[in-house]
Amino acid sequence: MAGSTYLDGSIATYLDKLAGAEPEPGGGSVAALVGALGAGLVTMVTSLTLGKEKFAAVQGDMTEIQEVAERLRGELGEFVSLDAQVYRAVATAMKLPKETEEQKAERTRVLQAALKEAATVPLRVAEAATQVARLALPAAEKGNPNAVSDAGVAVLLADAAAQSAALNVKINLAWIDDGSFARETWGRVELLLSETARLRDTVLALTYSKL
């Protein structure tokens, strides 16, 4: 992808790559994309609320939500391609020579560093997705009620993104020798999943009550 990202192409092109025989883009990239879609929906709810006289009381709130949602959409969009890049770094490290003790030691060092990065990127995706879920709640509560179903979809996508990212964290942690790093990282993931699940249920209940 030198010099470009998956988001520079069409949806059809991305889907074709996803369905291809190469291991990337894969689930981690998709997790980021799903999170970005959720952030985009939150922004849409705010856009349908801002500038409307009958929603004058929440203009400030909607502006703040929109600013954060757009930042998250940008971050998650970058992770769509970054996830594939860190995967390639792991794949490259695994191919390093290991004939001598020095080569084995260097391969281990490079591979472990690459694996940590490969676990950290989906962790950051889960963190950003959780923030999207947090925004979906006030969007559903205060946003244009005609778009409340979109806030509901946003929280579902945010939860799916967090759970999908968690799977990618877990599969990389299994290969990492640093036990404290693995425990700390997974502990953070579990907290995020707990929060997104709670927000999902809360926002969905609110959404259905307004339909």
- What pLDDT band is residue 2 in, cutting at 50, 70 and 90? very low
Report the distance separating Cα 144 and Cα 138, nearest Å: 11
Query: What CA–CA distances, in Å, run from 28 to 60, 86, 89, 98?
Result: 34, 10, 14, 29
Task: Say what angle helices 148-173 and 101-142 make with each other, to 10 degrees.
Answer: 160
pTM above 0.75, yes or no: yes
Going along the chain from its start, the domains and CATH numbers come out as: 26-210 (1.20.120.680)
The answer to whether the CB of 163 falls within 8 A of the CB of 96 is no
Report the distance separating Cα 166 and Cα 160, nearest Å: 10
Report the distance separating Cα 90 and Cα 113, nearest Å: 9
Q: What is the CA radius of gyration of the chain?
A: 19
Is 80 exceeded by the pLDDT of residue 51? yes
Task: Specify the pLDDT at position 11.
Answer: 96
User: CB-hemisphere CA count at 13 Å for 69?
Assistant: 29
- What pLDDT band is residue 3 in, cutting at 50, 70 and 90? very low
pLDDT digits (tens, 9 = 90+) for 123-162: 999 999 999 999 999 999 999 999 999 999 999 999 999 9
Give me the residue label for tokens 């979109």.
Answer: 150
Task: Specify the pLDDT at position 119.
Answer: 98
Give the helix/strand (H/E) hosting 16. Answer: helix 11-18
- What pLDDT band is residue 63 in, cutting at 50, 70 and 90? very high
Give me the residue label for tokens 């926002």.
Answer: 203
Phi-psi region of 51 (alpha: psi -120 to 50; beta: other; left: phi over 0): left
